[in-house]
Amino acid sequence: MAKSSRPVLGALLAALLSLAPAAAGHGAPAGTVFWVDPDSAAARQAAAYRAQGRTADAALVDRIATRPQAVWLGGADPGPTARAVTEAAARAGSTAVLVTYYIPHRDCGSYSAGGAPDAAAYRAYIDSLVSGLGSGGAYVVVEPDAVASAVAGCPGADIEERYALLAYAVQRLAARPGTRVYLDAGNAGWIPDPARLVDPLRRSGVAAATGIALNVANYRTNSETSAYGHRLLAALGGAPHFVIDSSRNGNGPYEGTDAWCNPPGRALGTPPTTGSADPALDAYLWIKRPGESDGTCRGGPPAGQWWESGALELARNSPARLTGAPAPRGSGPRAA
């Protein structure tokens, strides 16, 4: 995901944005608390360490386990999981963050290859997800890498079909009450010229979205990503908002080969929050779940699987500000 090393939104018109239920009201609701999965892989790892008497390691992994993280929905029928997660978040007085990840030719055949077999299956996937969303709302990040990889080159993918499917996803999700939709737009190191993303994002339904998501599963700094986000907003003609994945960017990007894939020496970044002095920046989110592998590179397990040693390194390298009081824990079922 978010392969910036491969060979390599001032104002979307207010009239257009007023048509999008998710975008109404503009900035993120003040004081939003994001849901913490009480049975995440990180939480289970910390519990195991405590049972083994490894209290120092448990405390390190708690830097991950006690923070809100997104739930990735990669199977054909995400409705039941979406319902379980959003209901658990509602019981906890918090808001779930979900990620759609089932576009045909997902990851363009790389480590996270897969996705829907065809367009009809993808539309059925989105319909299932929409059916699982309650009235309490959620933040939904739509298809990491899908637009940027189409721009960069995605062999085998039908690009026109991809844009149409993304627009379908954005429009269906944005129609749900309280749902804030962020269409993924890659990262600052992947498509350096934001102008190249303008037409693809428009064709992918960005006008109906709350905004765009940046830096998903990547390591670019907040400052670089924010500056890039504002350039992209301006190029789009004024779409108002973006979110940043700050899950693993505490030490910035790796300056070496395969910099996107399990790079060494990285650290946790800004904990999830809607607190920002930038009116265009709706939230810092942990979209990529820290401690999960990017793929079978540098000794990691398959993409998306928990990687104990990688999680410990991220936590050990994390800034001191992450050791403070965590967000409240959620309640409910495991969000796998």
Give catalytic residues, as residue numbers. Answer: 107, 145, 294
User: Token pair for residue 123?
Assistant: 């539309």
Buried residues in 144-168 as b, exposed as e (16+ CB within 10 A): bbbbbbbbbebeebebeebbbbbbb
Q: How many CA atoms lie within 13 A of 260 on its CB side?
A: 23
Residues 6+ apart with CB under 8 A from 10: 233, 234, 238
Rg (CA), the chain: 18
- CA–CA separation, 182 and 133 (whole Å): 16
6 DSSP assignment:
S
Distances (CA, A) of 188 to 94, 143, 194, 329: 30, 17, 9, 32
Token pair recorded at residue 271: 């904990």
* Concatenated DSSP letters of 180-216: EEEEE---TTTS--THHHHHHHHHTTGGGSSEEEE-T
Dihedral angle of Cα 285, 290, 293, 294, to the nearest 10 degrees: 30
